[in-house]
Each structure stands twice: as C-alpha cells, then as structure tokens.
Structure 1
Amino acid sequence: MLAELSSALIEEVERSAELLESKQHICLLTGAGISAESGIPTFRDKQTGLWENYRAEDLATPDAFARDPKLVWSWYQWRRQLVASKKPNPAHTALAQWQYHSQSTNQQLTLITQNVDDLHEQAGSAVTHLHGNLWRNRCSQCQTPYTIQLKSAYDSENSISFDEALMTCQHCDGYIRPDIVWFGESLPMRAWQTAEEAAANCDVFISIGTSSLVYPAAGLAQLAKHNGAKIIEINPYPTPNTLVDITLAAKAGAILPELVKRMGIL
C-alpha cells in the first residue's frame, strides 16, 4: 500500500500516528466510503437492473413502506443479495487489529458506523451502528425485533434466504421491515448517546469515508472539536473544513494499514 501514497501523504500519516500514540481516547466514525472499497454500492450510486427507475431515497422511507410494503421489502432483499458476498477490506481489518491491540494498552477506541452492513463485525470489531443493521428486522407497527435473523458474520451466502414474500409480526400482525433507519426517522437513542459521549470525551476524532460536513458526522466532529479533540479525516475526496486538523486524502484501505503499522500495531 505504501507505493500508493505520496511522500507528502506519508508524512501526514506519520504525523497522525505520532498524535494517536500519545492520546488515550479515540473516537472513529466510518461511512459509506469504507464499504464502497469492498464493493458495496452507496446511495449516491445509480440503481441497476429492475431498480434503475427508482431512487434509493424514494424507497428508504416510512411512507414508501406504508404505500407499498412489498416493493420496499423486495428492494431490501435485492440489496441484501448485493451485500451478502462482500468481505471486509484492509481498512476494516486494520481497525479490528487496532481495537484488539488497544485492549492491552491504556488506549480506548470507540468505533461508530453509519453503515448498515456487518463488515466491521466480520473483521472482528465491536461497533455501534447509528443507522441500524441490514441483516436484522423488526415489526413496522409494534417495533418488536423479528427474532429469526437473516445472516450472521459466520453464515455462508448459501444459507441466506432472499424470499421477497412479506412477513408479519406474531404479536400484532404488522408487516416486518428491515431494522434500519429510514429517511425521516430518528437515530436509535442508545447508539446516538454512545456516539455523542465518545465524541465529547475523545482526544482524537477520526472521520473515515464520510464527509465531515454532512450530519450526523458533522455534529459529532463539531462536538469533539468543541471539547478540544484533534480531527483527522480519511477520505479520497475531502471537503474543505476548518474543523479538520489532518487530512489524509486517500482510500481508507491504503491509509489505515499504514497508520496502524506506524503505531507499532502490525
């Protein structure tokens, strides 16, 4: 990966490693960019196949599900098929190794993700999901979790059912929906509290594969900065932002393995 990084970028990675080695509380927020490096389409990507005439933003809403639950459920089953074969990339692996290493040091890492896939878990990380989990379901009416999970990190792709038939709740007969946060819905309270507390009390806040100008990432970065934290952004397409102290303008899969290596973890 080193050959992919310019000398100027390598210097910034070294500066980041020196900073991180001297700090105790680290908050990391990952977004769509890290999953895209594993081949998972982002919401900005054009829909394909049967779904090319739909916008993702028009399907991922409570109103869309109320209007046509079969359409929305079928789309999510299609998305699950896209994601099922994807594997963690070097960025996920590096974060998991860093988190594991921190258990034997005084450093505390809190990993938060905006992604709904389970690639962090597959790599071995403990992670808080702000937007829910694509592989979990709940009732759209009474919110009871649907106990039959579609997938775990240890399932093989062949064991997953992608049946498009609607399911109903055994408690209230409401339709079962994906347990993820749709447009217009609030973030899960416990997950958001974890994120806020980690951001407010961290020494360094690292934004990975997500714009530090877009909420909720922007709010967490601002909270961290307000409380004296340094801000590092890892993004091949960084946005100008006075909050950011160190910009690492490259893919997370190239930056993070090199970063943890220079911290003596790999």
Structure 2
Amino acid sequence: MTGAGISTAAGIPDFRSPGSGLYDNLQKYNLPDPQAIFEIGFFRKNPEPFFALAKELVPEHLKPTRTHYFIRLLEKKGILKRWYTQNIDSLEYLTGIPEDKVVTAHGSFRQSTCLKCKQQYDYEWTRDKVLHSSNHIPRCEKDNCNGIVKPNIVFFGENLPRRFFECAMTDFPKCDLLIIIGTSLIVQPFAGMVHEVNDDCPRLLINMEAAGKIGSREKALGIPGLCYDSNCNKRDVFWKGTCDDGTSKLAELLDWEHELDALVNAPSAASTQAQPTKSTSSSKPISKE
C-alpha cells in the first residue's frame, strides 16, 4: 500500500508536508478549505484551482523512484500479490509492472472524461491541455459540447473504483506480509484496509512520520490500528525515514541491491517516462466505452 510519500523523490510534492505540501501551496486561491480543491461540487463550479494544481501533478518529465522500482522487483520475483496506491500520478506503470498488479484506489490521470457528454480522452491529450493551453482547463472537443474534461481521479464525494473493492475483498485475507509506504493512513476507506489482513500477518510501515497507530481513544472504542509502539505488539514494525531509504535498506537486507540498481538504471525505464499509457492519439479523444 503506497501514498504520496513515494513520489516526492520524483519531484511531486505530497499533500501535507508543512511548507511544501500541496495543501499549503493552495492558499493563494482563497479556498473555503484546502480539501475543497478535490471536492466534486466545488470542482464543477470552479475547476481552475484544481487544474492549476494539476500542473504540479503531471510534469512532462517524470521517472519512477527507487521505491517504485523496489515494488516492481517484488513483482518480478513473483511475490507481489497486488500494489494498492493512493497516488494519481501513474508512475507505477512506468516501471513496466503489469497493469493487473496495480489498483489505483483514487484513480489516475491515465484517462479523462467529459463531465457533460462522457467522451473519454487519453493522458497525452489531457497533459497537453493542462500544461500548454492558455487557461489550463481542458474542454471537450466534441461538436457542440465544450464540457469540462475531468481526469478519472476520485474526488471527495465520489465513489472509489469498483475494482478497488473487488480486489481488496480477496487480496487482503490472502496477504502474508503487508508493506505500507509513504502514507499518513488518514483517508478512508484506503487506510482501513490495513486491518483486513489476518491477525498473524506482519505489517511494515515505512514513512517519515508515525501513522495508523492505536491511541487511547481508538483503543477504548475498539478501533483497530497498527501496534508497533505497543508492549503487546507481535507483528507490526515502523521504520522511520524516507521511502527510498527504507526500501533500499530492505533490498540490502535481502541481498537485492544489484537487482534493484539494474531496474532503476535500465535505459528502457528512462525511455518510457513520457509514455504512461498507450495512446490512440495525442490530440484526439478516445472512443466512448
């Protein structure tokens, strides 16, 4: 399970880091609340703040981080059941990982949909409009439409993709090691999935700050959490540090350093960084499903 912290080394700011998080950088828009930028009702009325922010999330030259490639290495070794991510940047796919191994819990920029006529557009079209059009707000090019084209990411007030629930229902009970990287474990229902593994499943958190732990209030209410700082803990571990440092340490302990380096430095990885998905055209819409 991964969050925004794994992409900060790629140059994408996270949401909550003081002074550098995306929420902190939204003050100039005088939002009623920082999260309003991701609320579907607010977006329909005023999409400009979101698309200004989107320029930070879809830079033209992206490369997966060492953490992304560590997870790809797990898949290459045949021990990755699934990669659940909160991130919408699509960097997971640039590692070359099979699409069926990734569950984008909050959607991604890989496709966008017109809110008015439901015409779909590919990543390259959306990126070009966000980065290079005069007002950065993508508009549908279908005749007599001109509706706002919204990336297929999950806003507050929208349902998570059906695939998230379908996969989670079968994946988590089968999990024999849950690795949680770069997430504050605040946003539900994603955060709650850490409790869907069996009671004897080890859980490792790699993060800059403690997250997901049980407080006295949660304990009194019977709300489960990670127990890494509890005297009765038998299965949870918290490794404090950057995501790349944590996964590099894991690779070192497993004697996988050279294999991880090879993935990170492979020419094929660098050459695909501008191609997060197959595109039918960089300037035309995709046929409706």
The normalised TM-score by structure 2 is 0.67
**Partner Cα distance (1:196, 1:131) in 2:** 17
Mark the CA change 1:149 to 1:189 in structure 2 (over 3 Å): closer, same or farther.
same
Q: Which amino acid aligns with 1:78?
A: K
CA distance in 2, matches of 1:97, 1:36: 20
Residue identity in the other structure for 1:94:
F
Q: Which residue of 2 aligns with 1:179?
A: 152
Match of 1:233 in 2: 205
Structure 1 contact 232–247 (Cα < 8 Å) conserved: yes
User: Is structure 2 residue 158 aligned with structure 1 residue 188?
Assistant: no
**Cα distance between partner residues in 2 of 1:160 and 1:101:** 38
- Count, aligned residues: 226
Asked whether 1:67 is paired with 2:45, we answer yes
Distance verdict in 2 for CA 1:172–1:110, change over 3 Å: farther
Residue in structure 2 matching 1:78, options 51, 55, 70: 55
> Conserved in 2, the CA contact under 8 Å of 1:142 and 1:172?
no
Give the drift of 1:169: 6.4
Q: Secondary structure at the match of 1:137?
A: strand
Contact 1:135–1:151 (8 Å) recurs in 2:
no
Distance in 2 between the 1:68 and 1:134 partners? Answer: 19
Distance in 1, Cα, partners of 2:50 & 2:241 = 35
- Which residue is 1:203 aligned to? 176
Offset, 1:59: 1.7
AA aligned opposite 2:51:
S
Which residue number corresponds to residue 66 of structure 2? 90
Are 1:133 and 2:108 counterparts? Answer: yes
Aligned-pair CA distance for 1:192: 2.9
Would you say 1:170 and 2:142 are equivalent positions? yes
Amino acid at match of 1:41: P
Deviation at 1:76, TM superposition (A): 4.8
* Shift in alpha-carbon separation, 1:47–1:194, aligned structure 2, 3 A: same
Please state how far the C-alpha of 1:63 moved relative to its aligned partner: 1.0
Which of 213, 237, 240 is matched with 1:249 structurally? 240
Query: For residue 218 of structure 1, what is the amino acid of its counterpart?
Result: A
> How far did residue 233 of structure 1 move?
0.9
How do 1:102-117 and structure 2 match up within 5 A?
102=78, 107-117=79-89
Read off the aligned partner of 1:224 and give its amino acid letter.
V
Q: 2:91 aligns with which of 110, 119, 142?
A: 119
The equivalent residue for 2:251 is: 260
* Deviation, structure 1 residue 30: 0.3
Q: Distance in 2 between matches of 1:216 and 1:124?
A: 27
- Partner-residue secondary structure (3-state), 2:192: helix
Q: Deviations over 1:184-235 (max 9, x none)?
A: 1110111332233221221111111113454233321111145x42211111
Deviation at 1:114, TM superposition (A): 0.3
Any stretches of 5+ residues in structure 1 without a counterpart? Answer: 1-28
Alpha-carbon separation, structure 1, partners of 2:95 and 2:149: 29
Which stretch of the first structure deviates more once superposed, 179-188 or 86-95?
Answer: 86-95
| RMSD of aligned residue pairs (Cα, Å) | 3.1
| Contact preservation (8 Å) 2:137, 2:148 | no
Partner letter of residue 73 of structure 2?
Q
Query: Residue 13 of structure 1 corresponds to which residue in structure 2?
Result: none
Aligned partners of 1:77 and 1:162 also within 8 Å? no
Q: CA deviation at 1:94?
A: 1.5
In structure 2, relative to structure 1, the CA distance for the partners of 1:234 and 1:68 (3 Å cut) is same
Q: Rate the CA distance shift 1:38–1:161 in 2: closer, same or farther, 3 A.
A: closer
The more displaced of 177-186 and 59-68 is 59-68
Q: Which residue identity lines up with residue 252 of structure 1 in the other structure?
A: C
Q: With CA pairs under 8 Å and 6+ residues apart, which has the higher RCO, 1 or 2?
A: 1
